[in-house]
């Protein structure tokens, strides 16, 4: 078993980084991501299925040109190859991201 507190992990992410990987095995990987006001998350896509859980904060997600508000408790699923970016962080936005298969393994 592996257990951690998302807020504690987010607090330890260095200012010059946006995420840290907390779980990786053959089936999935999990990252805790933290964005601050003024951070830039360029439009991008991953080769894996992605599930995002907004742990705290508010902002927006742009999914292939369709922008939606996100806030604590929201869950977003993106299929492989879906262009997306997080933006308009009004405060600290903390997100848990689950990738299946593990991030980078399907490329």
Quote the pLDDT of residue 38: 85
Q: In terms of C-beta distances under 8 Å and separation of at least 24 residues, what long-range contacts does 102-106 make, across chains too?
A: 102/24, 102/25, 102/26, 102/27, 102/28, 102/29, 102/48, 103/21, 103/29, 103/31, 103/46, 103/48, 104/29, 105/29, 105/48, 106/46, 106/47, 106/48, 106/80
Quote the pLDDT of residue 46: 95
What's CA 105's distance to the chain center, in Å?
17
In tens digits, the chain (107 residues) has pLDDT values of 999 999 999 999 998 899 999 999 999 999 999 999 888 899 999 999 999 999 999 999 999 999 999 999 999 999 999 999 999 987 899 999 999 999 998 76
Quote the pLDDT of residue 90: 79
Quote the pLDDT of residue 15: 86
Domains and CATH numbers, the chain: 6-100 (2.60.120.10)
């Amino acid at each position: 078993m592996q257990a951690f507190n998302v807020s504690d992990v987010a607090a330890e992410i260095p200012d010059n980084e946006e995420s840290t990987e907390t779980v990786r095995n053959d089936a999935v990987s999990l990252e805790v991501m933290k964005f601050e006001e003024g951070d830039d998350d360029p439009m991008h896509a991953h080769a894996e299925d992605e599930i995002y859980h907004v742990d705290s904060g508010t902002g927006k997600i742009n999914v292939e040109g369709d922008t939606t508000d996100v806030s604590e408790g929201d869950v977003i699923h993106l299929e492989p190859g879906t262009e997306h970016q997080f933006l308009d962080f009004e405060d600290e936005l903390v997100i848990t991201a689950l990738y299946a298969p593990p991030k980078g393994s399907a490329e």
